[in-house]
Amino acid sequence: RDDLRIVVMSATLDGERLATFLDAPRLSSAGRSYPVEIAHFPARREEAIEHQTKRAIEQALVTHPGDVLVFLPGQREIAHVERLLAAALPAAGELLFPQSGHPAPIRARARHGAHDATPQPPTSQLADVDVLPLHGELPLEQQTRVLQPATDGRRRVVLATNVAESSVTLPGVRVVIDSGLAREPRFDPNSGFARLDVVSISQASADQRAGRAGRVAEGFAYRLWPQSQRLEPQRRPEIAQVELASLALELAAWGSDALRFVDPPPPGALAAARDLLQRLDALDGNRVITARGRRMLALGTHPRLAAMLLASDDPSRIALACDLAALIEARDPLRSRSDALAERWQALAAFRNGRVGADANRSALAAIDAASKQWRRRLRCNAHPPADVPAHDLGDLLAHAFPDRIARQHPQDAKRYQLANGRMAKLFDDSAVHGEPWLVASELRFEARDALLLRAAPVDEAYLRQAFAAHFHEGDEVRWDAGRRALASERIARFDGIVLSSKPAGRVDPALAARALTDAVRDLGLTALPWTEALSQWRVRVQCLRAWMPELGLPDLSDAALLSSLDAWLMPAFAGKTRLDALDESALAEALKSAVDWNLRQRIDQLAPTRIDVPSGMQRAIAYALDDHGEPASPVLAVKLQELFGLAQTPRIAGGRIALTIHLLSPGGRPLQVTQDLAGFWERTYPEVRKEMKGRYPRHPWPDDPWNAVATHRAKPRGT
| Cα dihedral 144→149→154→160 (10° resolution) | 50
Q: What is the mean pLDDT of residues 668-682?
A: 93
The candidate with the shortest Cα–Cα distance to 421, out of 432, 406, 399, is 406
pLDDT for res 617: 92
Calculate mean pLDDT across residues 595-612: 93
Euclidean distance between CA atoms 608 and 604, whole angstroms: 6
Does the structure show a pLDDT above 90 at 33? no
Q: Read out DSSP for 402-432?
A: -GGGEEEE-SS-TTEEEETTS-EEE--TT-T
Q: What is the pLDDT of residues 164-200, one digit of tens each?
A: 666 567 888 999 999 999 988 777 665 555 667 788 9
Nearest in space to 607 (alpha carbons), one of 662, 663, 677, 552: 552
Of all residues in the chain, the percent with pLDDT exceeding 70 is 92
Angle at 670 between CA 668 and CA 671, to 5 degrees: 140
Q: What are phi and psi of 482, to 5 degrees?
A: -65, -35
Strand order in the sheet with 36-40: 36-40, 219-223, 173-178, 67-71, 155-160, 129-134
Q: Flag the least confident range among 46-55, 100-109, 262-271, 305-314.
A: 100-109
Strands 114-117 and 108-111: antiparallel
Cα dihedral 335→143→52→40 (10° resolution) = 150
pLDDT score at 92: 31
Mean pLDDT of the chain: 87
**Alpha carbons 202 and 639: distance in angstroms, whole number:** 59
User: How high is the pLDDT of residue 114?
Assistant: 38
DSSP code, position 554: P
User: 428 CB contacts (<8 Å, ≥6 apart)?
Assistant: 337, 339, 452, 453
Among the residue ranges 10-19, 515-524, 672-681, the one predicted with the least confidence is: 10-19
pTM over 0.85: no
pLDDT given at position 191:
55
Q: What is the pLDDT of residue 717?
A: 64
Mean pLDDT of 280-290: 94
* Chain CA centroid to CA 663, Å: 47
Using one digit for the tens of pLDDT, what is the confidence trace for 468-491? 999 999 888 887 777 667 777 788
Q: Which helix (H) or strand (E) holds 311?
A: none
Pairing mode, strands 451-458 and 424-426:
parallel
- pLDDT of 380 > 60? The answer is yes
How far is 688 from 673, CA to CA, in rounded Å? 11
Mind listing the pLDDT tens digit for each residue in 610-628?
Answer: 999 999 999 999 999 999 8
- From the centroid of its chain, how far is CA 518? 27
State residue 28's pLDDT score. 87
* CB-CB contact of 123 with 88 (8 Å): yes
pLDDT above 90 covers what percent of the chain?
Answer: 60
What does the pLDDT read at residue 123? 42
What sign results for the dihedral spanned by CA atoms 433, 435, 436, 438? positive
What integer is the mean pLDDT of 284-306? 95
Mean per-residue pLDDT, 674-687: 93
What does the pLDDT read at residue 101?
A: 36
Instruction: Report pLDDT for 652.
Output: 95
